[in-house]
Amino acid sequence: MAGSSEVKPKADAHAPSYYAATAKGLEAHPPLSGDASADVCIIGGGYTGLSAALHLAERGRSVRLIEANRLGWGASGRNGGQLHSGQRRDQSTLEHWLGEAEAQRLFALGEEAKALVKSLIRQHSIDCDWRDGLIHAVHKPRYLADIKTEISLLRDRYQVSDITELSRDEIAARLGTSVYFGGWREQSAGHLHPLNYALGLARAAKQAGAILHEGTRAIRLTQGAKPQVVTESGTLTAQTVILACNGYLHGLDADTEARVMPLHNFVLATEPLGERAAKLIPGREAAGDSRFVVYYWRLSADNRLIFGGGETYGPRFPSDIKGFVRNHMLKIYPQLSDIKIDYGWGGTLAVTMKRLPYMRRLRPGLYTSGGYSGQGVGTATFAGKLLAEAICGEQDRFDIFSRLPAPPFPGGRLLRHPTMALAMMWYALRDRL
């Protein structure tokens, strides 16, 4: 099958997505030219890097951020736009793995991440279509008992008060489909236009004094008292370097790559649905389901259905992304078979074995953060803030994440993809049983 490889992206325009077509205030930032220095050099212009740049500049550090493509070109400009609560793993699992106290700390930080995104939007007037409300839909009756346990835990031990459990009929009414068996709704989670959010963060970082370069790929890091980042058009010398490349790291750091694995995920946007939109999601919440390879969707500000689903693990994207995702969408919304698909695009996220973020100080002067496992809108933004804290000598909160377990993927860099693909296919098969 012919496909378009994204393994080694060239300095490139944004993916041909609905988001790129509706981007607000796209600004060009010149590539690095010649040699320069800064207190902190950040590699990668997604939420992690941009938020770190903003928070470091606000703390008076000189910052240079280099992005190989355009700011927000990676997962941050292509994702489902859903802002979740807590961590990627539910609290029952975290308590089981880490004990109640650590699970409580992680939950509180997850809540802070969600609040941070909303406060950045307000504070910097980021025009990114923010809407409250997120629905979790259960696609197998056997998962209902677990959901009830988790809701009780969140209410009783975590004092979460904005969760409403939904019966089968209620979820059908709220999501315009009868395929789900129940679920729950959260008011404080929600959704946004991810690329416009990233571009807003970039503007805020620039206004705070960070220098941003597009079309500037780091090709090598050198160690030493002051690390150097070598690019095709110049060299940056800094006290501290942050690797904020997530699923696009490509050989810059073997330690991170052993633990953070790229996956491709795909999204479509239909033509505007007009009055039919209100029949699908009358409350205009975001929605996601309990599949291992999760389906997620929401309405855009101009009443399109934005639907994400389907993953691939090899180097290539499917040649017909619209058709690939449409097949998944029709399982949930067969009534949309007459609707035209205007956009289809793919992006690369990164997962860890435990589905918990990988944040580390790799050695003095070198930090890495990524592997948010599909929950990066909040977590990557927050990681940027924690990186800024840690670099300014406040390690405590960063260390709650840096001590999380992060085993390497089996099979090493070469064999992990086939090994994990087999494991993922097994879990995806279980979704259908």
Ligand X SMILES: Cc1cc2nc3c(=O)[nH]c(=O)nc-3n(C[C@H](O)[C@H](O)[C@H](O)COP(=O)(O)OP(=O)(O)OC[C@H]3O[C@@H](n4cnc5c(N)ncnc54)[C@H](O)[C@@H]3O)c2cc1C
How far apart are CB 147 and ligand X at their closest, in Å?
20
Angle at 185 between CA 346 and CA 194, to 5 degrees: 30
Q: Does 257 bind ligand X (CB under 6 A)?
A: no
Among the residue ranges 16-24, 68-76, 130-138, 324-332, the one whose residues contact ligand X (CB under 6 A): 68-76
Among 17, 76, 91, 368, binds ligand X (CB under 6 A): 76
Q: How many residues bind ligand X (CB under 6 A)?
A: 46
Instruction: State the sign of the Cα–Cα–Cα–Cα dihedral 114, 124, 48, 262.
Output: positive
| Choice between 168 and 188, CB closer to ligand X | 188
Footprint of ligand X on 299-328 (CB under 6 A):
308
Which of 61-69, 147-155, 179-187, 415-423 is the region at the interface with ligand X (rule: CB under 6 A)? 61-69
For the segment 185-244, give every residue that binds ligand X (CB under 6 A).
Answer: 217-218, 244
Region binding ligand X by CB under 6 A among candidate stretches 63-71, 108-116, 157-165, 385-393: 63-71
Site residues for ligand X, 19-58, by CB under 6 A, read 43-49
> Where does this chain touch ligand X (CB under 6 A) — which range of 74-82, 154-162, 232-240, 411-419?
74-82
- The footprint of ligand X on residues 259-298 (CB under 6 A) is 265, 267, 296
183 within 8 A of 363, measured Cβ to Cβ: no
Least distance (Å) between residue 228 CB and ligand X? 14
370 binds ligand X (CB under 6 A): yes
**CA count, 13 A, side-chain hemisphere, 384:** 36
Task: Provide, rounded to whole angstroms, the least separation between the CB of residue 275 and ligand X.
Answer: 26
Q: Work out how close the CB of 128 gets to ligand X at its nearest, in angstroms, rounded to a whole number.
A: 13
Distance CA 202, CA 197 (A): 9
- Under the criterion CB under 6 A, does residue 78 sit at the interface with ligand X? yes
CB-based contact 106:115 (threshold 8 Å): no
Q: Count of residues for the chain?
A: 433
Taking residues 83 to 122 in sequence order and writing x for each that binds ligand X by CB under 6 A, - otherwise, the string is -x--------------------------------------
CA angle, 139 then 141 then 142, to 5°: 110
For residues 65 and 211, the answer to whether their CB atoms sit within 8 Å is yes
Range 377-396, binding ligand X (CB under 6 A)? 377-378, 380
**For ligand X, the closer CB: 28 or 433:** 28
Q: Distance (Å, rounded) from C-alpha 20 to C-alpha 185?
A: 29
Does residue 67 bind ligand X (CB under 6 A)? yes
Which residue, 66 or 329, is less far from ligand X as judged by CB? 66
**Cα 148 from Cα 163, distance rounded (Å):** 11
| Binding range to ligand X, per CB under 6 A, among 182-190, 246-254, 324-332, 395-403 | 246-254
Position among 79, 85, 270, 300 found at the interface with ligand X (CB under 6 A): 79
Residue placing its CB nearer to ligand X in the complex, 47 or 401: 47
* Residues 82 and 411 sit within 8 Å (Cβ to Cβ): no
Residue closer to ligand X by CB (options 323, 334) is 323
Binding site for ligand X (CB under 6 A): 43-49, 66-69, 73-76, 78-82, 84, 217-218, 244-250, 252, 265, 267, 296, 308, 347-349, 370, 372, 374-378, 380
